[in-house]
Amino acid sequence: MKTSIKGHIVSYEPDANGGVRYLTQMIDPNEAKVFFDQAFGRGFADFEDQNGANYKLTLHGSEYQLTKEQ
């Protein structure tokens, strides 16, 4: 699946829906920008949502991939 978050194309599997919701609806847009900036600079950004689930945002070329960590 793919979506646009804060102007970035993000691909994700259905199990990462919570991470998409967190980045788009649960936190301030400036806070979400920090994760994208970190992924751009380091290649990835780890974060935890409000329910304690862990996610990784990874930069692949010009797109980002969001995965739920086990």
Return per-residue pLDDT of the chain as tens, 70 residues: 999 999 999 999 999 999 999 999 999 999 999 999 999 999 999 999 999 999 999 999 999 999 999 8
Q: Are 5 and 24 in contact (CB under 8 A)?
A: yes
- Residue 43 is given by DSSP the state S
What is the domain range of residue 58? Answer: 2-68
pLDDT for res 66: 98
Domain count within the chain:
1
Q: What is the pTM of this model?
A: 0.95
Q: Taking Cα atoms as reference points, which of 43, 61, 58 lies closest to residue 13?
A: 58
